[in-house]
Amino acid sequence: MSLLEYAVLAGIFYGLYFALVGVGLNLIFGVMRIINLAHGDFLILGAYGAFYVFHLFGWNPLWAIPIELVVFFGLSLPLYYLLVPRLQKSGDPEMLSFILFFGLSQVIEALAVFAFGNDQRSIPASVFGGSPVTIAGQVYPASWVVSAAVGMAGITLIYLYLYHTRIGRATRAIMTERSEAVVTGISVHRVSAVAFGIGIATAALAGIFSPFMIGAIAPSLGMGITVTSFTIIVIGSLGNPLGTVLGGLLYGEALMLMQTFLTSWAEMFPYALLILVLLVKPTGLLGKAVRSA
């Protein structure tokens, strides 16, 4: 029973972290109906930011949080106005976004290889204290607890943004029906640019903790992380950012339970879970909140 308890609690930690990994991708899709295939590459860039904050300056990676939130949000705004308005003028912005952001992903990966090299990089988990954390009689690395706490905080802030701010209510109006939002006088591009910036900055935030939750980082890992993020948001509900929490928790639980009891199936089972969810409910578990086309 103790092994099961360990796996379940570990799944919660991983689930909260993976919810943070996927929520930015889901927010961007929900508002703009585009698939950001460069999502994982922005996450990897955030990981490299934390790596250099630690190895160049000797700072705790937590100091990278305010730095990266500002930097990535600021960089995302010109990127939005360069790419997204043109996408949304096309007849099929979702399909075109696949092509465009896949190209952006390849560019970022190539630049990352040029800047950082192909070698895998890591940050010692001891930066959060050498002592493990005991919860309900089970012992976990402090880095898991910190990553999960930051994930929960990030999700909470996005909830407050969507439901307790004026621009958040405008964001939800666009997610519900874009054309009606335009008619009511909402500045769609301004609101969408903010959501795009939050989505990119959230990916970078998740990247800060990826060396502890995913493993050593390298430029080539971006696409795999994007696929994982897409799996998480589809399980919860594509287009419903808060559905990502449910998707992340289910993904984390499935991953940790399989790694604990059926290791050889661990990498496959979360995707089998995705297929099962889509067969039972094609819109995802919280599909009612998805905006119609």
The CATH number given to whatever domain includes residue 44 is 1.10.3470
Work out the percent of the chain whose per-residue pLDDT is above 70.
Answer: 97
244 sits in which H/E element: helix 243-261
Sign of CA dihedral 72, 64, 198, 210: positive
Q: What is the mean pLDDT of residues 18-24?
A: 95
Residue 289 has pLDDT above 60, yes or no: no
Question: How would residue 157 be classed by pLDDT, with cut points 50, 70 and 90?
Answer: very high
Question: How would residue 143 be classed by pLDDT, with cut points 50, 70 and 90?
Answer: very high
Q: With contact defined as beta carbons under 8 Å apart, do 21 and 225 qualify?
A: yes
Structure-block tokens of residue 231: 């799996």
Number of domain units in the chain: 1
Residue 210 has pLDDT above 70, yes or no: yes
Query: Which residue, among 216, 219, 221, 226, has the nearest Cα to 111 in the 3D structure?
Result: 219
Place of tokens 């730095």: 67
Question: How would residue 288 be classed by pLDDT, with cut points 50, 70 and 90?
Answer: low
Amino acid 51: pLDDT: 96
Give the lowest-confidence range in 60-69, 91-100, 194-203: 91-100
Q: What is the mean pLDDT of the chain?
A: 89
Q: How far apart are CA 70 and CA 134, in angstroms?
A: 34
Q: Which domain holds residue 191?
A: 2-122+131-289
Q: With contact defined as beta carbons under 8 Å apart, do 224 and 32 qualify?
A: no
Q: With contact defined as beta carbons under 8 Å apart, do 155 and 23 qualify?
A: yes
Tell me the three state secondary structure of residue 121. Answer: strand
3 state SS for 261-279: HCHHHCCCHHHHHHHHHHH
DSSP assignment of 78-103: HHHHHHHHHHHTSS-HHHHHHHHHHH
Q: What crossing angle do the helices spanning 2-32 and 243-261 adopt, rounded to 10°?
A: 150
In angstroms and rounded to an integer, the radius of gyration of the C-alpha atoms of the chain is 19
Amino acid 293: pLDDT: 39
Tell me the three state secondary structure of residue 162. Answer: helix
- Higher pLDDT among residues 43 and 262, named by residue: 43
Residue 67 has pLDDT above 90, yes or no: yes
Work out the percent of the chain whose per-residue pLDDT is above 90.
Answer: 62
Question: How would residue 260 be classed by pLDDT, with cut points 50, 70 and 90?
Answer: confident
Q: With contact defined as beta carbons under 8 Å apart, do 47 and 208 qualify?
A: yes
Q: What is the mean pLDDT of residues 255-264?
A: 85
- Taking CB atoms within 8 Å and a gap of at least 24, the contacts of 87-94 are 87/32, 87/34, 88/32, 88/33, 88/34, 93/32, 93/33, 93/34, 94/33, 94/34, 94/35
Q: How far apart are CA 115 and CA 113, in angstroms?
A: 5
Residue 80 has pLDDT above 60, yes or no: yes
Q: What is the mean pLDDT of residues 38-55?
A: 96
Q: How far apart are CA 184 and CA 163, in angstroms?
A: 19
Question: How would residue 36 be classed by pLDDT, with cut points 50, 70 and 90?
Answer: very high
At 272-286, the pLDDT tens digits run 888 888 888 877 777
At 88-134, the pLDDT tens digits run 887 777 788 889 999 999 999 999 999 999 889 999 988 987 788 88
8-state DSSP, 217: B
Q: What are the backbone angles phi and psi of residue 92, rounded to the nearest 5°?
A: -140, 75
